[in-house]
A = this chain, B = another copy of it.
Amino acid sequence: MVAPALIALDWGTTNLRAYLVGSGGEVIAREERPQGIMQVAKADFAGALDEALKAWMPLPPGLPVIACGMIGSRQGWREAPYAACPAGAADVARGMIAVEWRDGHQVLLIPGISCRDGHGVPDVIRGEETQIFGAVTGDGGLFLLPGTHSKWVAVEKGRITSFATFMTGEVFGVLRQHSILGRTMQAGEIDEGGFRRGVAAAAKGSGALLHGLFGARTLNLFGELAEREGAGYLSGLLIGTELLEAPRVVGISGKPSSIGLIGQPQLCRSYALAAAELGYATFEAAPDAALHGIWRLASARGLVKEAA
């Protein structure tokens, strides 16, 4: 077996992904468990890690272990205080904090980043900063990490300069499940035709989302939107609205030239489809972005040597 140089942990709310990494940054082995921080009994994170990594034991002395994601939040192992935006890899690497694990091994927890908008309202990312550092090629760009709460992140000269959270996924979920809109929506898969109609409605609409949502009801009432199309329409309307508003919120005027998508493939496909309808170009950022980001941050902290 190649000698390992690093253990990288992508430890979020629902899953733990662990990578045993060689000195060239290559993955020697990987483990994935449904042991997100909300699933770990009695918050025994050390025990959960023992269990997840038992195949790799015993660990060579001095092997660095670095974790990104919600494990470094107040609800996780310990809170790694947010680095302030703008922040580059060096700033984030400097903010790592150590917790004791076992046999003299520590786990370094990567901090998230916080920012304030022009009116003092804070926003935060935690885990996404690491994915961004793993995905960014060249100097910068605009990245979108879709999810329950999607994150838009602008990068300039290798530093995260601005970001914003959109609650699109969660708003879709609660409206579908708990509002009157859900009553005329078939359960199951998102219908692509309905989705495209929703995106088009967002593009043509007035931006008044609280009004536009009602269209999902009235179109059905008038026999012009099938129950099969309903959830797709709602999803398209919400995602379309997000795509139209978010670039401005992170400081980009006009259409963004290109958006890098990072995340769960099916969700990225929906965003790519909506973006195409709106005339935005998107590209798929590298897979295993978190792993690559941890490697970069380990290198910034001098724990591994980045490949030439």
Alpha-carbon distance A206/B246, docked complex (angstroms): 10
Chain B residues whose C-beta falls within 8 Å of the C-beta of A174 in the assembled complex = 174-175, 178-179
Interface 0/1 of A204-216, CB less than 8 Å to B: 1111111111110
Chain B residues whose C-beta falls within 8 Å of the C-beta of A224 in the assembled complex = 122
Alpha-carbon distance A261/B256, docked complex (angstroms): 41
CB distance from A9 to the nearest CB of B (A): 23
Q: Are A208 and B245 CB-contacts (below 8 A) given A121-B219, A124-B221?
A: yes
Indicate if the CB atoms of B119 and A204 lie closer than 8 Å. Answer: yes
Alpha-carbon distance A165/B241, docked complex (angstroms): 18
Q: A179: which of B119, B170, B219 is its contact (CB, 8 Å)?
A: B170
Chain B residues whose C-beta falls within 8 Å of the C-beta of A213 in the assembled complex = 167, 171
Alpha-carbon distance A248/B219, docked complex (angstroms): 22
Interface 0/1 of A155-182, CB less than 8 Å to B: 0000000001111101100110111100
Q: Is A43 an interface residue (CB 8 A)?
A: no
Chain B residues whose C-beta falls within 8 Å of the C-beta of A167 in the assembled complex = 179, 210-211, 213-214
Indicate if the CB atoms of A214 and B175 lie closer than 8 Å. Answer: no
Q: Look across to chain B and name the residue whose beta carbon is closest to the beta carbon of A74.
A: B221
Chain B residues whose C-beta falls within 8 Å of the C-beta of A245 in the assembled complex = 206-208, 210-211
Indicate if the CB atoms of B210 and A124 lie closer than 8 Å. Answer: no
Indicate if the CB atoms of B119 and A208 lie closer than 8 Å. Answer: no
Chain B residues whose C-beta falls within 8 Å of the C-beta of A209 in the assembled complex = 209-210
Q: Look across to chain B and name the residue whose beta carbon is closest to the beta carbon of A175.
A: B174
Q: A175: which of B166, B171, B205 is its contact (CB, 8 Å)?
A: B171
On chain A, the number of residues with a Cβ less than 8 Å from chain B's Cβ atoms is 47
Q: A123: which of B170, B206, B218 is its contact (CB, 8 Å)?
A: B218
Q: Are A218 and B124 CB-contacts (below 8 A) given A119-B205, A166-B211, A204-B119?
A: yes
Alpha-carbon distance A182/B241, docked complex (angstroms): 23
Q: Is A26 an interface residue (CB 8 A)?
A: no
Chain A, range 113-169, C-beta contacts under 8 Å to B: 114, 117-119, 121-124, 149, 164-168
Chain B residues whose C-beta falls within 8 Å of the C-beta of A281 in the assembled complex = none
Q: Are A241 and B210 CB-contacts (below 8 A) given A175-B171, A218-B124?
A: yes
Alpha-carbon distance A175/B165, docked complex (angstroms): 16
Indicate if the CB atoms of B166 and A214 lie closer than 8 Å. Answer: yes
6 A-B residue pairs with Cβ-Cβ distance under 8 Å, sorted by A, are A122-B215, A122-B222, A123-B218, A171-B175, A171-B179, A210-B245
3 cross-chain pairs, A with B, having the tightest CB-CB distances, nearest first? A208-B245, A121-B215, A119-B204
